[in-house]
Structure formats: structure tokens, C-alpha cells
Chains A and B, each alone.
Chain A
Amino acid sequence: MTIQEISEQIVSEFSLFGDWMDKYNYLIELGKSLPMIEEKHKTENNLISGCQSKVWLHAAFEDGKVIFTADSDALVTKGLVSLMIRVFSNQSPREIIQADLDFIDKIGLKEHLSPTRANGLVSMIKQMKFYAMAFEMKG
């Protein structure tokens, strides 16, 4: 699936929830199914700075696709991280670089994109795009 298709899928999943609590419960569930980062990649180097909660992000480049794995020590953050992985992992660098992420707004989680939230979502997206750029140049 393309980034656009996955985004639309996420938007339709979230549209099922009437109130914030169901939405966050779902987010927390998603976090639990996150493709876990291997222990050896949970390094200081892979930590994303600027987060109140810790987020580790690892990227690999296989057959022209970027494979992301990640983890966080907070559940809400983990949920947000899992959405980003679902959207970006297994995509080509070009698609990741060009992706627009308005689905986050559409599912009502835009507040997490505020740079003052300190949840690191903004830094994480930046970092994922950086990896994509680096892989594209190496490509």
C-alpha cells in the first residue's frame, strides 16, 4: 500500500470512535503491537531528542525500502510512534520525503504535532525523513 492509502485506512479506523477515550484506548492498543526495535538498537544514538518520554528509532534500507523499528517507554507515545511506522516503514525514500501527514490532523491528534508537546512526534517525523534522505543519496 502507498503512504496515501495507509493514511486513509488510519483515518477510517479512527472515524469509528466517538469520544477521545476510545480513541486513546485504541492508540494505546496500537502501541502495544509496535514492531519492537531490537534490544541492540536501543542505543543512546538512536534516541530521539526533545522528548519527555524516550523514543528509540532504528532505520534499515532493504531492497529500495526503508524499514523502521522503534520503541518508547510511554504508551501514548508508543501509539503515535506505531502510526508513523505503519505509514512510513516499507516505503521508498522518495515517498517518505514527499509524504504529507495531514492524517494526524484528520484523526484528531494534531495537538501532538505542536512543538511544545515534548512528545517527540515532530522530532521523530523529522528524523524519519532524514533517514529517507540519507538512504536516497546512498541509494
Chain B
Amino acid sequence: MKQNVRTDFPILAQQVYGKPLIYFDNAATTQKPNQVLEEVSRYYREDNSNIHRGVHYLSQKATVEFEEARKFLRDFIHAEKEHEIIFTRGTTESINLVASSFGEKFLQPGDEILLTAMEHHSNIVPWQLVCEKRGASIKIIPVTPEGELDLNQLPGLISERTRLIAVTHASNVLGTVNPIKTITTLAHQHDIPVLVDGAQAVPHLTVDVQDLDCDFYCFSGHKVYGPMGSGILYGKEQWLDALPPYHGGGEMIKEVRFSGSTYNELPFKFEAGTPDVPAALGMKAGLKYLLDQGFEEVIRYEEALLQYATRALLNMGDIRIIGTAREKVGVISFLVGNSHPYDVGTLLDKMGIAVRTGHHCAMPLMEWYSIPGTVRASFALYNTREEVDAFIAALQKVKQMLA
């Protein structure tokens, strides 16, 4: 990892309320390096054209770049085939795609979908929608007080009506990294496919979908230094082949007649309409940026920063950390004494520190912990120990003010 990585991120140089910006809201979205900004703008300046159908020079160039990005994504998550990579607008759209198409084909009244208590609303609500339509129901794998999945419960929760297990790779609230392989192994013994929400894992872990042996994997580019509106769905070929299309439109068809249409092959079957080409190219640029820094080194750096921040917080006293799993990504959720997270976040903001407060789109998890929400600091490769020190000093002030 190079020394002056922060200079790649122009947004970080600014001041807010006259104080240097400390951006600790990376689990919501990361900032974008120049390499990504330039790639998106270069595409519009040099290559903009609609892809896949044009016979002309620009269209072919744009098509090649788009498909190169797909291959890059395949390699990045270690998928077997490039047509197992579907470009989407992000994790949420990817999950909605699977929930809708899988539900239509495979869910019958009385069937069950297994989720975990630590899912983001994006991995709850799409399943609720489809279960309601199909007369299926949702069962929940509970979490332990430390914030790990209680996998002892899993065998008892699987029934002959279980049709799919959807689980987050890393929790956006607790930081917990879940043992996906254990889950896929057990699930596959019962021929149950597993969908993994990788939104919080991909920025911080090397993902190998073949090793995890998951059937679907979803993530968003904007949480890994890429543009908003970028993301992918990975699906094993046999599953993607088995699912009906999600959206209809151009690109996803082979032949259209008013008597009926036939659908295009993978991956185009799931990519109706003009895709967000610059977002896909920008996502590739963001991931490439991460790899260029030395992903292993970034992982070690973030791990050390997480430990440093955790220790500093605990040393302050009167801090309750929510989520103390053995394996965590760079996310710390905490409460300061009896203070409301909203107060803490509002006052930190006035000192130039961006954190997230509230339920983090995981209301069932908040309910389980019986808390109104948390303050969440989440890190990226450009965050520093000096920023953590400033954050702790600011928190001390906040504590005094709210005492």
C-alpha cells in the first residue's frame, strides 16, 4: 500500500464546519479515487456508445470494455465463468432479482426461506415480498449476544420445506464475518441453494465464490471505491439457467413476436435495457485500485486499524460495543453510556466526523439487542490512526456535553 493513498481521494481534502473531514461512514459508501473518477469521465469523453448491437467502431469498443469488465469481475470473485456475472445496480437489485425469479419458479405455498437475524433490510424485504406472493414463510437463524450466528440452531431450522438460505457474508452493523462454507456445506447436503449478501465483505476480504461454494453472491461497487449504481449478481450457471428472467426489455431477448418471445442466453437474459456501462467500468477501476494497493496488505492495515480503534474506544470507558465476534471487518457499532446514538452522531458531525447512527437498516437486529440504534464507525484503506485519535478526543467532548 503506498504511503500517500489519501491524495488519490480528492473529497478527503475538504473541511466541514471548518474542521478537517474524518470520514468514518465507509460501510455506507466509500469515497472514490481519481482513478475511478477519471475512468467514468473518460468513458463519456472517448467511448460512449450503446453496447452489444452496434456495428460501428464506438459501439464495438464500448462493448469490448464492458465485457472486459465482466471478465475482471469474474476473476475478482474467482468465479468459473464470465456469464455467471450479471451486472446490476447493486446488492439490493441483485437480491431482488433472485428473490423474484427464484420465488416465481421454485416457491410453493408452505415453503420456507431461511434468513439470519443480522440481515440488512435488503436481504429481508425482497424475501418477504415474494413469500407473501407465493404463500411461503421466513424462518430466522438467531445470533448470539456476541453477534455471531448461532449455527447450532441451523440443522433444526432446516426442514424439507426449506427452499433457500440467504445470509450476509459480513454484517453491516456488527462487522461479524459469517462462516459461509459451513453454511453452504450443510445446505447442500439438503440440496438447498445459498445466497450470500457480500456488500460489506467485498471491500475487506478476498472472496472466492467457488471456494465458498455459494449459489448466488451479490455486492455493490460503490462500497468498494466504485461508482454508485454499480454492482453484480454472481450465480452458478445451472441456477441462472433455471431462473426465469427478471426484467423484460431490449438485450435480454433472442426473438420477440407478439405470440411470445424467447430469451437470450446468459448473462444477457438478466440484463434488460441499456446497462450502466460507465458504472461497470468505474467499478472495475475501483476494484483494480484496491488490488493495486495490495489487497492482502490493505486487509492487514484495516484489521490493525480496527483493533486500534476498538482498544481506544474501550479505554475511554462507558462504551458498549455491539458486535464482538472473533472475526470482524472494519465496522464498530457502539453506544456511549446512556446517550442516544443520534445525539452522539449530531455532535460528532459538528466536529467534522462522519459516522452513521440509527438502526442501519437492520431493525430486527436492533430489536433483538433491545437498543434504539448504534453509532457506527466504519473504515476504509485511507483512514488513519491519527483520525481514530481525533475521533476518540471528539467522543470525549461529546460525552462531557451529554453528561
Interface residues of A (CB under 8 A from B): 20-21, 24-25, 28, 52-54, 73-77, 118-119
B145 close to chain A: CB less than 8 A: no
B340 touches A73 (CB 8 A): yes
Contact with A along B328-355 (1 / 0, CB 8 A): 0000000000011111001100100000
Contact B347 A76 (CB under 8 A): yes
Q: Is B179 an interface residue (CB 8 A)?
A: no
A20 contacts B358, C-beta separation under 8 Å: no
**Chain A residues, CB < 8 A from B342:** 52-53, 74, 76-77, 118-119
Cβ of B372 and Cβ of A54 under 8 Å apart?
A: yes
User: How many residue pairs, one in A and one in B, have C-beta atoms under 8 Å apart?
Assistant: 41
Residues from chain B with a CB closer than 8 A to the CB of A119 are 342, 346
Given contacts A20-B17, A24-B401, A28-B402, contact A74 B350 (CB under 8 A): no
| Known contacts A21-B401, A28-B401, A52-B358, A75 near B340 by CB under 8 Å | yes
Interface majority SS (helix, strand, loop, mixed), chain B? helix
Cβ of B350: which chain A residues have Cβ within 8 Å of it?
20-21, 24
Interface footprint category on B = 10 to 19
B residues near A24, Cβ cutoff 8 Å: 347, 350, 401
Contacts of A75 in B (CB 8 A): 339-340, 343, 402
Residue numbers in A under 8 Å from B340 (CB-CB): 53, 73-75, 77
Q: Which of B339, B347, B358, B372 contacts A118 (CB 8 A)?
A: B358
7 A-B contacts, Cβ less than 8 Å apart?
A52-B358, A52-B373, A53-B343, A74-B340, A74-B342, A77-B343, A118-B358
Q: A25-B401, A52-B373, A73-B372 are in contact. List 10 more A-B contacts (CB 8 A).
A: A21-B397, A52-B341, A52-B357, A53-B342, A73-B340, A74-B342, A74-B343, A118-B342, A118-B358, A119-B342
Closest beta carbon of chain B to A104's beta carbon, Å: 15
Residues of B within 8 A of A118 (CB): 342, 358
Please report the C-alpha to C-alpha distance between residue A21 and residue B17 in the assembled complex, in whole angstroms: 12
